[in-house]
Amino acid sequence: MTYDVDGVTLLGFGAALLTTLAFLPQVIKVWRSHSTTDISLLTFLSFCAGITLWLSYGILTTDLPLIAANGATLVLAGTILIFKLRYK
């Protein structure tokens, strides 16, 4: 399978990189502090469910920026969700 990388795809990867990296500081903060008091469980449950759907859509449409962004975001948001459940 080949995949053409054009300007639109690069734009998608740029957006994917920025929106995914936005979660990294929160993951680090929760990891260090072991505190999730100010994080909404319902928000992260629904967010992770939505990201899973976006990831599925990206896989089904073979959209690499969607797959990359939502795969990485699911890992980071899922980490926060696990910490939220663990550090109640």
Tens of pLDDT, residue by residue over 15-69, are 888 988 888 998 899 999 989 988 899 999 999 999 999 999 999 999 888 999 9
Residue 1 has pLDDT above 70, yes or no: no
Q: Residue 75: inside a domain, yes or no?
A: yes
Query: Domain span at residue 35?
Result: 26-86
- pLDDT on residue 9: 82
* CATH number of domain containing 36: 1.20.1280.290
- pLDDT on residue 19: 87
Residue 85 has pLDDT above 70, yes or no: yes
Count of structural domains, the chain = 1
Buried residues in 1-28 as b, exposed as e (16+ CB within 10 A): eeeeeeeeeeebeeebeeebeebeebbe
* Tokens 């399978």 sit on residue: 1
Q: Residue 55: inside a domain, yes or no?
A: yes
Tell me which H or E stretch contains 2. none
Entry pTM: 0.80
